[in-house]
Structures are given as C-alpha cells and as structure tokens.
Amino acid sequence: MKSFNFYNITNSAFKKLGFSCAFTFAIIASNTLAEDKLPTQFTDVTLDSKLKIDFEPVNDMLDANVFNMGPSRRVNAKRPRASMGTKLKRAISASTHNEANRFTYELIQKNNHEDKVTAIKLYLESIPAKTSLKQYNRAEQLAYWLNLYNITVINEIVKRYPRIRLKKLLTGSNSLLDEKLINIDGIELSLNDIHHDILYKNYYKNPLIIYGLYQGNIGGPNINKKAYTGKNVYRLLKANATEFINSNRGTNTDMFSELEVSSYYARNADYFPDFEHDLRSHLLQFADEKTSKKIDLADELTANINNWKVTDLYGSDRVFGGGTAPGAAGMLGSGADPSLTQKVMEDANMGKGVNLTDTQISRLRQLMKVRAKNIGNTSVTVNDLDDSEDDN
C-alpha cells in the first residue's frame, strides 16, 4: 500500500515532469483557439493506433490524494453542532454535504506541494510536442483531455485554497473556466475550449463526457482515484454517471410531482438539445429502480440542485471559536483506504505540527463513518470523539 505522500511519484515520473517543465516554459503562446474551427492537431485521429500516453504522474497524485466516498445512500446530514465557546453553527447543504469524493487540498498546502501539482500539469501540456495527439486513437485522446482538464482545475483550486465556495469561480462573466490557462503547441486553451469545443465536437456531443470533468465542488461529478486511460475511460465515465445520477447531487427523488436535478445539467444544456426530453432519456440509462420511477412519474424537471463547496477533506469548514485538539484525529481510521488517513494520523498524533480544530476533527469523523456505511465497511474506528454527533 502506498503511503500518503503523493509525492511518492517514481523517479521515471519525476524525470518526465522535469523535462516537461523546461519545455513548457520555453513555449511562446502565439495562437488562440478559433471559435468556428478547431486546429487540425486537436481534431485528427489515428483510429487503429496502439500508442499509449503515460499518465503515471497523474495516477500517482490521484491515488494518494483522492478519498473515495463510495456510492450515495441518499441520507441527509445533520446540522453540525456549534463549536465550543460559541452558539453559532455552520450552514450546510444537508442532502449533499457528505457526498462526492474528496481531494486533500489542505494537506497539499500544509506540505507546500503546490509546485508538484503545477509540474504534472506542465508535463501533460508537453506531451503533444513529443508525439502529436493525432497519432493516438480517440479513446487515448479522450483520456488525455480529461486528465489535463482535471489537473488544471485542481492546480487552480490549490492556488486559491482555502477558498470555501466555488460558485464565482465556475460561473459568471469572470469564470475560471474561460481563462486561457493551458498552452499546447503554442495554442492557448481555456477549460471551456476543451469542454465545449474539443470534446463536444470530437465525441459527437456524447453526454457521458460531462461526468469526466471535475469541477472542484461537491455538487459536480466525482474526481476518481485513477487517471483516465484509453483502456478505462468509458468504464470510468459510466461509473461516474451512475454514481452522480443516483445521488442527491444529481437527482432529488423526494419531490412529489417535480424532478429536481443538478444545475450542472443546465450548464451543459448544449449536450441536451431538447433539454427535458433528452435529459430524461439520458438519466434513465443509468438510474436505479427508485430513481427511474421518479423520472417516469415527474410532471416537470427543474435543474436547481447545487452545492458549491470545495471537495476538500476537512480544512475549509469555517470555525466559530473552539480550541485545537492535535491528538484526537490520530485515532481516525478507514480500513479500506488507510493511505489517506495515514498522513493525518502521522501529523496529528506524532508531533509533526498539525493542530486540528474540534470542527475539523468532527468533519473527518463524519466523512469516515459515512464512507464506511456507503462502501459497507464496518471496520472504521473512531476513538476519543463524542458519539452524539453522528451524521447518519
């Protein structure tokens, strides 16, 4: 089992990163993506190509930093109790508060590893200069674009962390998604260029694509513990679609005559030309029995489910007073995924300088217990923590 130090990337991977950094910094951006026509290097393909892209650095980072929460059980979170010394409570979106996989932004920041994330992004940007994308098949290209998109999102959130809410970053006239953050072969790209131009046009407006685009917020599709590859990309996209649609983030099955769905679908309306009809048909492809019945019976559809909070592990919860408890978190455990908590245990319980607040400890405890129930693992151990605050 790998230790939690994503920075346990292999020597060969680091050599790749070092090369890419030097190369990418040498690029002079001279072009931007045309609005009406994609450059041929982003459209051409070798259909029978067997070439593979090395996504090892991406895979190592995700494996060490993504906490898999398992499939949703559609259980609402209880409102958190007030921190010691105050009567103020934190506002949460109860139906989605404990959903979505988490990424350990707080630990990357604590260990000053922001530059490692940037290095992986630069490595991905450098790949087409060594082997043109058109020499790969469509599945390999899709894996490339999704990995590049997701690592870029993570890199931008890392720069801004501990920002709690991401709505202004993801929507509006100054959206992060519209910034030219990526440079490939001297062509500047935004995340929306990849999403709504390259992927939309090259993959025949396939709605599965949207589930591979991590947004950084709880209300969006999951970030996976594995990098996308040409071999696994469609399987992982279908798994993400199934998880999202059958979660409180994707659909609300409690309403009587109305079907509430994620606002993420409205932001991807170009994938559903006849929005309500096409979206219903799409949802039914991946919905479980209960969700399917709700979709069939609902008179109307409203895209209004949101949770803009960042998908961190524990660090962004606002703290109203309360002290720190550096040792209590050391007894948190997760039998099926010990690599994630190992770092927290080491830092909090072995004198490495991490002091967790009562609020942060409580949040860790909640996520561990919810995850154990989602996955069916009953071996989670939580000691020295008050059992009165149980989310489920």
pLDDT tens-digit readout, 103-128: 999 888 877 788 999 999 999 999 99
Which residues is 182 bridged to in the sheet?
189
Residue 1 has pLDDT above 50, yes or no: no
Over 90: is that where the pLDDT of 241 sits?
A: yes
Quick one: pLDDT band at residue 342, thresholds 50, 70, 90? low
Lowest mean pLDDT among 93-107, 209-223, 275-289, 342-356: 342-356
| pLDDT range class, residue 138, cuts 50, 70, 90 | very high
pLDDT the model gives residue 380: 37
Higher pLDDT, 339 or 196: 196
Does a cis peptide bond (omega within 30 degrees of 0) precede residue 221? no
- Give the strands of the sheet with 258-262, arranged side by side: 251-252, 258-262, 300-305
Say if residues 345 and 329 touch (Cβ distance below 8 Å): yes
Query: Are 293 and 251 spatial neighbours (Cβ–Cβ below 8 Å)?
Result: no
Region 72-90: mean pLDDT is: 67
- Side by side, which strands form the sheet with 180-184? 31-32, 187-190, 180-184
Closest CA to 314 of 350, 249, 372, 359: 359
Q: Note the pLDDT tens digit of each residue in 139-178.
A: 999 999 999 999 999 999 999 998 889 999 999 889 999 9
SS3 track for 172-238:
CCCCHHHCEEEEECCEEEEHHHHHHHHHHHHCCCCHHHHHHCCCCECCCCCCCCCCCCCCCHHHHHH
Q: Which candidate, 146, 269, 270, 132, places its Cα nearest to that of 214?
A: 146
**SS3 (DSSP) at 275:** helix
Lowest mean pLDDT among 79-88, 219-228, 382-391: 382-391
> What pLDDT is stored for residue 52 in this prediction?
98
| Per-residue confidence (pLDDT) for residue 390, from 0 to 100 | 39
Q: Whose structure tokens read 């489910």?
A: 305
Residues 23-40: what's their mean pLDDT? Answer: 52
pLDDT given at position 376 = 85
Q: Locate the domains of the chain by residue range.
A: 11-65+100-237, 251-305
d(CA 61, CA 93): 29
* Predicted confidence band of residue 17 (pLDDT cuts 50, 70, 90): low
Whole-number percent of the chain with pLDDT over 90: 60
Query: What does the pLDDT read at residue 16?
Result: 52
- Sign, CA torsion 136/141/23/104: negative
Mean pLDDT of the chain: 80
Rounded percentage of the chain residues whose pLDDT exceeds 70: 73
Residue carrying the six token digits 């790209």: 189
Highest mean pLDDT: which of 170-174, 228-232, 353-357? 228-232
Residue ranges of alpha helices (H) inside the chain are 11-26, 56-65, 105-110, 114-130, 138-160, 167-170, 191-192, 200-202, 233-245, 263-266, 275-286, 289-297, 338-349, 358-375
The pLDDT confidence band at residue 78, using thresholds 50, 70 and 90, is: confident
CA distance 226 to 59: 5
| pLDDT attached to residue 235 | 98
Given a cut of 60, whether residue 215 has pLDDT beyond it is yes
pLDDT given at position 383:
31
Q: Identify the DSSP state of 260.
A: E
- Residue 291 is classified by DSSP as H
Any idea which of 78-87, 120-129, 367-376 has the lowest mean pLDDT? 78-87
Residue with tokens 């007030």: 82
**What's the length of the chain?**
392
* In the predicted structure, residue 386 carries a pLDDT above the cut 70: no
CA distance 281 to 256: 20
**DSSP for 69-81, written as a single string:** --S----PPPPPP
Residue-level pLDDT at 283 = 98
